[in-house]
Chain A
Amino acid sequence: MSAVVVLFIGLGAMALAYFVYSKFIAEKIYRLDPGFKTPAHEFEDGIDFVPTNRYVLWGHHFTSVAGAAPIVGPAIAVIWGWLPAFLWVVLGTIFFAGVHDSGAIWASVRNRAKSVGALTGDVVGKRARSLFMIVIFLVLLMVNAVFGVVIAGLLMKFPSAVVPVWGAILVALVIGQLIYRRIIGLATVSIIGVLALYGLILIGPSVPIQMPEQVGALSGNAVWILLLFAYAAIASLLPVWMLLQPRDYINGLQLFVGLIILYGALVLLNPTLVAPMYNTNVPAGTPSIIPLLFVTIACGAISGFHGLVASGTTSKQLNKETDARFVGYFGSIGEGMLALGAILAATAGFASLGDWNTMYDAFGKGGVNAFVEGGAYIISNGLGLPEATAATLLTVMAALFAGTTMDTGLRLQRYIFQEWGEIYNQQWMKKPAIATFLAVGSCLILAFGAGADGSGGLIIWPLFGTTNQLLAGLTLLVITVMLVRLKRPMWFTLVPLIFLLIMTVLALLLQLRSFYEVGNYFLLGLDIIVLIASILVAMECASSLKRVRRELATKSEG
């Protein structure tokens, strides 16, 4: 099968969905109103609430939600063949993610730009709110641990990327100073920054830095993980303008450039998908495709993380309510495109089926490495770049994304610890350094408990996906309850919600058995916690929907 054909089918379906389905959702279900005074106007303060141009807002929304996860998930899930992953990404984006993201913005805008967490408290109930906090904490914990493991693995496997990945941080620091002190304008800085980053990528292959397999008592992988968390801890404590802001900016530019290069090379080369359409010959130990596919690909199909972004910052800056369709729905399409690129790179970027099979010799293998190797193969054959440079480029792209998510995640986790310090009146816990230390500590325990020394691969990945889906489920519940209260059709959000809950619980049960069988009691415990949370979410859904319908019934009688 030709990759370009698959690419265009996917893009065509998403474009059609944007013009037809999202219009229907926006006009008939959410009934977005161009005359509605959005919180950005109502509470305009020049700080949080600022009406923002919708293209700029889309750029932010997209770069905040598109990270390493839509690359890693699909690149793992192609082990079942390219078709299931392709279908779930395309249909998930159309019927799940787009509806979820634009719905989260709508729900938040209609409720004074409150975050989904606060909305859960208001719309569903206090109990659901506590549940929400726990699920968020679990998601952050897992995302940090997983990405630490992912970047460490990349740095071990592609030593040519070490200099550009760490150099990019230096570039960001310099840019931050240049802009903050107004030494040169942003336009010049952007050009210099992108040139510096790509310069580093070009020289990367000639100055590889290989961490030895064993450093003292630790494996090389573990050393990288410790270094990465040390970096993320420091970065999350620095003022945002110093590192976070310039690095996000450069990352955003790099994301667009990288996507253009990858897609351009795909179209020019038009490789054949060497991976089977439906893999009947999966390696031993690969779990069943249903339900695991639906939690392995979370970001790229539907992800609860988006709801946090949509209701946290995006909704405060929405200029017109009707922009929610473009920002939310098209934002998810952007992420779907990234996931689609990852699928194609991980299935078409190999010379033969044999090569592909060696890469995917066990579940959880492949992943981002397959994306980098496959993508490098496509770029080097399509655009004529040396393969080592292309691999460095993609490694840097993935590592920078994961890194951004890591320090944002740590920052958020620190806030949660500080909030707990506030609630339980523990003064020491409110100190930023101590709260950060606790956050890093909990992530490290998880990372090493899940086999960060390189032995475990990414066994924790599906668990992360599951928790992420639970979060999406809670957001969908908020939207559904709002729709029921407004007496509008609820099926367009309720069906995805039920589907997600069923798949999540099934996946958790399946994983429970496999963790028990391999004797990983740490993850077994974590799985049980998530399982309890998801059952609680399901019960919360049932009871709140019932309650709201009863309320409506009594109201219409009276």
Chain B
Amino acid sequence: MRKDSDSKESAPRSERIKAWLSQARFYAEEFYSSRYRGAIARAQRDEDDLFMLMVFSELMGVPNPVSYYTLELQPLMLERFHEWHRRMGMEHSPLDDFRCC
């Protein structure tokens, strides 16, 4: 994008058109997405929360037939665990043997 402002005169026409098009694409994409970014991210977070519940269900006493596999996922979800239980309205970790705060 910056390229074209530096050398407006010397840049070949195809370059300039390309730069203009990429600028237009940027505006169009921002215009398309920025208004709904929040709503979509929230929807995704809701689904992630459900998934989190599934991964940690065994620890909370909910039997899970695929716990053998979800156990493997636990380390990957660890980083988001704290945020998750806070969001679910629990001040501290709900799991006795799983303290994060």
Contacts and interface: CB of A to CB of B under 8 A. Distances in A.
B89 interface: no
B27 interface: yes
Contacts, number: 58
A50 B37 contact: yes
Interface string A6-23: 000000000000000000
Interface in A493-537: none
B35 A186 contact: no
Nearest to A249: B32
B22 to A, nearest CB: 10
Interface stretch (B40-48, B52-60, B65-73, B92-100): B40-48
B29 interface: yes
Given A48-B38, A240-B39, A240-B40, A187 B31 contact: no
Classify the secondary structure of A's interface with B.
helix
A64 interface: yes
Interface in A233-260: 239-241, 244-245, 248-249, 252
Interface centre among A56, A59, A187, A248 (most CB of B within 10 A): A56
Contacts of B35: 60, 64, 245, 248, 313
B28 A190 contact: yes
A56 B31 contact: yes
Contacts of A47: 37-38, 41-42
Nearest to A56: B30
B90 interface: no
A511 B25 CA distance: 50
B86 to A, nearest CB: 15
Contacts of B34: 50, 52, 56-57, 60, 317
B88 to A, nearest CB: 16
A55 interface: yes
A186 B29 contact: yes
A322 B39 CA distance: 27
B21 interface: yes
Nearest to B21: A187
Contacts of B41: 46-47
Contacts of A252: 31
B40 A241 contact: yes
A186 B32 contact: yes
A317 B37 CA distance: 11
Contact of A240 (B21, B27, B28, B36): B36
A185 interface: yes
15 contacts: A47-B42, A56-B30, A56-B34, A179-B32, A186-B25, A187-B28, A240-B40, A241-B40, A244-B36, A245-B33, A245-B40, A249-B31, A252-B31, A313-B35, A316-B38
Given A50-B34, A57-B34, 13 more contacts: A46-B41, A50-B37, A53-B30, A55-B27, A56-B30, A56-B34, A186-B25, A186-B28, A186-B29, A187-B28, A239-B43, A248-B35, A249-B32
Question: Closest 5 A-B residue pairs measured CB to CB?
Answer: A47-B41, A48-B38, A56-B30, A240-B39, A245-B36
